[in-house]
Structure 1
Amino acid sequence: MLPDHGAFVPGPRLRVAPTGSGMLDGLTFAVKDNMDVAGWITGAGNPDWRAAQSPAVRSAPTVRALLGDGAELVGRTVSDELAFSLEGRNAFDGTPINPACPGGLSGGSSSGSAVAVAAHLADIALGTDTGGSVRVPASFCGIFGFRPSHGRVSLDGVVPLASRYDTVGWFSRTAEVLWRAGSVLLGESGSDEAPPVRLTLASDAFGMMDITHRTALLQAARALGPHDVCFLFNNEQPLWLECYRVLQGAEIWRAHGDWINRTRPRFAPDIAARFADASSISDEEVRLMAKVRSRIGAHVRSLVPVGTILVLPTAPGPALSRTAGAAEIGTFYAQALALTAAAGHAGLPQLSIPAARTASGCPLGLSMIGWPGSDAAMLQIAASWEAKTVA
């Protein structure tokens, strides 16, 4: 096994000393390979993208914030190509090794960031999350992961994927460190105590899981306290998925289509197929699905009035096998992207916590979607629940 579990981009290790002192003194962090660090090239997980870049003049605001509050930057982590995957594979930079689930993928696209934290190579890691790229790796690797409200944390200095869904998120092994990093990145630490909340379990979301995995996660969810039950998808799961495919794909092609047509970059076959699909999406599809997104977003927000948290599985199961075939991967995407689209379509914050394990010891993540503007409160709630839930 590689000493760094393949978490870091091959080549000289990026290291930057803290520029200030504060809540993060003595902690280390890693940064995904789609975020700028002054003096270093941002490779976005693709050799042809990397070859066309110059060293960044200025670090992304998120990187500057952590350095300024006392954290030391200890490496740049592997990303799936241009962040366009949930698996955690990279045909060029290598596929990180999941330390929590031998034989399983780490999840992507913030694969190296999740592995760096899970393998105790960093205390905190920055990632990006468009359709689950922080939440799914957090679940697969058995750590905490947070996707903030859309627009809540700066995306300056980040290679875009799909702007209406893109967010900068972060990982840690404990809820307390997740909260400390969040206090810096959000610019607020919340109130002195976690607010009281009401839980609502999305029964149809849990119904997507294997019975054994569902039972384990439901047991963890019920340990959090009294709860209501709701239906999240209302039998429209395929529509949620199609809405995300169309709107994300159109924005991806808008961001990268000219570059792809001009340079004809190398991509792994599955990544190339996704870009080809994105190139085929019509304006009429976008127009129709924008209306669907508005309806779905309003529905999800109606389930989380102030003080209410929606509880659901982070992913449809444990880590995918490193040898998973096309059919298994296709089923995974159909389920996972529907689950992650709930917060994405609604622009809401979502927290994944390591809540259970399979019989073979692989982690299962439990997710909480908060009400609008509840980012700081969600991180406080996670810290208060940690002793009840962490597996």
Structure 2
Amino acid sequence: MSAFVPGARVRIAATSSGPLDGLRFAVKDLIDVAGVVTGGGNPDWLATHAEAARHAPSVAALFAAGASVDGKTITDELAYSLEGVNEHYGTPLNPRWPHALPGGSSSGSASAVASGEVDFALGTDTGGSVRVPAAFCGLWGIRPTHDAVSTEGVLPFAPCFDTVGWFARSGELLARVADVLLAGTAPADVPPHLTRCAEAFEARAANEPDDAATLTSLAASVGAHDEISVFDGDAARWLHCYQQLQDDAIRASLGGWIDATSPRFGPAIASRFARLALLDDGEVARCRVLRSTLAARIDALVSQSVIVLPTTPLALIEKNASDDRIGAFYRDALTMDAIAALAGLPQVTVPLADERDRPLALSFIGPRGSDRALIALVRHLFSSIE
């Protein structure tokens, strides 16, 4: 299945010469490209919105650096999924593991890079929408520090967590794109120590014990010998806090349009949007206070150590996976992804491998603003795979 939105493929040449000369990139269909309607993965959103008047700043920066757009890519509907399935436009191919889902919601962007159709691609990441497809498709990927890359010209999902991230087949290109998109941001360093997130490795072990052992060994091989309980024995509280705040932000961003339009959603997506009606404002307010406490805990941890964790609780989700398996994946993945999201921190995921044919991915979370230093650290640790 194609990674790109239906219709004529959007191709626009670079506006200048620069460090990304000659490279081609794809743009998730949540991000504005001038003269093109940002469709959001939903035909009713497409039908009720006009062409973008200007490029999103992230797209404009890449044009100015010498890169050219070579397609807009399919997204899960309005970004509300981690699977990579779109009821209206189809499920982009996972090129290396075609029996499995590509991961979402930046599914088309990951597929296009993994297949070699483009050199790199923009996605968005709120609760894992770059990190999960990067892991599932065997790519380098980054969720940057919140607000480090402008989200102007990006369809708002949950702005308190939304970020513009990107995919590449190498750490070297991930870093080159970072130098463009993060230009002008105040850089921060990473601490010298690495510490494993105990609960994330336990979640992977509960699903795939052999993979958990392999990932633990790989983490130890680059210096992550120690581990810490990040959630302090209450992972459910972290997930609840994240979901309450995400859904409240989605209600504020998209609720009015949904009420006015009654859009067609795929069944799984429709049930998630229906959940917004159940929000309790008092509980949301309590979670806003709790977020400050949880973020402070994470900030304190990453001031001392880079946090290392499996990027996903499963290597892959098969196309015929049961609802129970998908539901358990969501629970574990959103909990793990909430670490960086709640504190607004950068997270880099790196593809690894052993003798078995399935994706293995480790992630590294650093302090706010340490994006480029974090990429440099991960590239150094895994220089042999570049």
Class of the TM-score when normalised by the shorter of the 2 chains: over 0.9
Q: Match of 1:315?
A: 312
8 Å Cα contact 2:13-2:63 kept in structure 1: yes
Q: Match of 1:337?
A: 334
8 Å Cα contact 1:148-1:168 kept in structure 2: yes
Shift of 1:389: 5.8
Q: Match of 1:363?
A: 359
Go from structure 1 to structure 2 and tell me whether the alpha carbon gap of 1:317 and 1:364 turns closer, same or farther (over 3 Å shift). same
Deviation readout 1:152-209 (Å, 9 max, x if unpaired):
1100000000011000000000000000000000006999xx9772111112210111
Q: 1:195 & 1:316 partners in 2: Cα distance? A: 25
Larger deviation, residues 333-342 vs 224-233: 224-233
Deviation readout 1:92-123 (Å, 9 max, x if unpaired):
11101101212110000000000111111111
User: What is the TM-score normalised by the length of structure 1?
Assistant: 0.94
Larger deviation, residues 208-217 vs 327-336: 208-217
Instruction: Flag structure 1 segments of 5+ consecutive residues without an equivalent.
Output: none
Q: 1:372 & 1:65 partners in 2: Cα distance? A: 22
Q: Match of 1:233?
A: 231
Matched letter for residue 378 of structure 1? L
Q: 2:117 & 2:224 partners in 1: Cα distance? A: 37
Shift of 1:291: 1.8
Moved over 4 A (4+): 188-191
Q: 1:226 & 1:96 partners in 2: Cα distance? A: 35
Go from structure 1 to structure 2 and tell me whether the alpha carbon gap of 1:277 and 1:358 turns closer, same or farther (over 3 Å shift). farther
Q: 2:3 & 2:378 partners in 1: Cα distance? A: 26
Go from structure 1 to structure 2 and tell me whether the alpha carbon gap of 1:24 and 1:292 turns closer, same or farther (over 3 Å shift). same
SS in 2 for 1:322: coil
8 Å Cα contact 1:170-1:178 kept in structure 2: yes
Matched letter for residue 199 of structure 1? L
Q: 1:248 & 1:389 partners in 2: Cα distance? A: 36
Larger deviation, residues 375-384 vs 91-100: 375-384
Shift of 1:82: 0.2
8 Å Cα contact 1:37-1:63 kept in structure 2: yes
Q: Match of 1:103?
A: 99
RMSD of the TM alignment (CA)? Answer: 1.7
Q: Paired residue for 1:167, among 159, 163, 166? A: 163
Identical-residue share of aligned pairs (%):
47
SS in 2 for 1:353: strand
8 Å Cα contact 1:312-1:366 kept in structure 2: yes
Q: Match of 2:295?
A: 297
Q: 1:331 & 1:358 partners in 2: Cα distance? A: 27
8 Å Cα contact 1:175-1:386 kept in structure 2: no
SS in 1 for 2:227: strand
- How many residues are aligned here? 382
Q: 2:191 & 2:104 partners in 1: Cα distance? A: 33
SS in 2 for 1:95: coil
Equivalent residue runs for 1:1-391 within 5 Å: 5-187=1-183, 197-209=192-204, 210-225=208-223, 227-305=225-303, 308-356=305-353, 359=356, 361-388=357-384
Go from structure 1 to structure 2 and tell me whether the alpha carbon gap of 1:373 and 1:195 turns closer, same or farther (over 3 Å shift). closer
Q: 1:301 & 1:248 partners in 2: Cα distance? A: 20
Q: 2:46 & 2:218 partners in 1: Cα distance? A: 43
8 Å Cα contact 1:205-1:232 kept in structure 2: no
Q: 2:365 & 2:41 partners in 1: Cα distance? A: 29
8 Å Cα contact 2:364-2:378 kept in structure 1: no
SS in 1 for 2:275: helix
Matched letter for residue 342 of structure 1? I
SS in 1 for 2:34: coil
Q: 1:296 & 1:261 partners in 2: Cα distance? A: 33
Shift of 1:351: 0.5
8 Å Cα contact 1:183-1:189 kept in structure 2: no
Matched letter for residue 177 of structure 2? A
Instruction: Flag structure 2 segments of 5+ consecutive residues without an equivalent.
Output: none
8 Å Cα contact 1:224-1:389 kept in structure 2: no
Q: 2:253 & 2:385 partners in 1: Cα distance? A: 39
Go from structure 1 to structure 2 and tell me whether the alpha carbon gap of 1:358 and 1:158 turns closer, same or farther (over 3 Å shift). farther
SS in 2 for 1:207: helix
